Amino acid sequence: MDLQKSQLDQLSRLLQSSMTTSKEISDISGEDKITVTLLTVGCTLAVAGL
């Protein structure tokens, strides 16, 4: 059970990091925040292998 909780914590931190990154990208680029967020989270999950 601890291993699963650890994995969920890592996934949570990874997704939170991608949300922060997407916000920064949208602020810099001026693109729509929802579009940038979806692309960033999608890329993050693809790299994570989910």
Q: pLDDT value at position 50? A: 61
pTM over 0.85: no
Q: pLDDT value at position 15? A: 82
- Enumerate residue ranges in the chain where pLDDT < 50: none
Q: pLDDT value at position 39? A: 83
Q: Which residues of 9-48 are buried (b: 16+ CB within 10 A; e: fewer)?
A: eeeeebeeebeebbeeebeeeeeeeeebbeebbeebeeee
